[in-house]
Amino acid sequence: MENSTLNQSIKPVFNLLKGTFGIVPIVAGLDKFTNLLTNWEEYIHPGVVGMLPFSPHVFMMIVGVIEIIAGVIVLKKTEIGGYIVAAWLTLIALTLLVSLKYMDVAVRDLVMAISAFSLARIAKFI
């Protein structure tokens, strides 16, 4: 298959992944301020809570800002943003695995991390 034809066939997949990994972190980040989707503080490892110099709610708002920034980076600089989101999701999954809580969410986040990593790799060629 010719390179331009390959790029054209991958472009819709790229756009779908870019939109997903741009919008979802922004929505999840904004929700850290409202807790409409879930109580995000429940996902913090108990050992981390004890080390925080501020409340778990403030910590989750900081996390929310980071997620919003990551989503915007995906939309503006997809390759870099894809790697950032992949690393972020991997870190979240590892903390959940260590806590032995929300194992289903940890596995889901690892799968999403692989998808975000794939987005970053595809972005190099689009």
Interval 91-117 mean pLDDT? 95
Quick: pLDDT tens for 10-26.
Answer: 999 999 999 999 999 99
Residue 8, pLDDT score? 86
Sign of CA dihedral 79, 67, 21, 98: positive
Tokens of 2: 């010719």
Residue 76, pLDDT score? 98
- Three-state DSSP class for residue 49: helix
Quick: pLDDT tens for 108-123.
Answer: 999 999 999 999 999 9
Report yes or no: 65 and 77 within 8 Å, Cβ to Cβ: no
C-alpha–C-alpha distance, residues 72 and 75, integer Å: 5
Residue 101, pLDDT score? 87
Tokens of 5: 């034809």
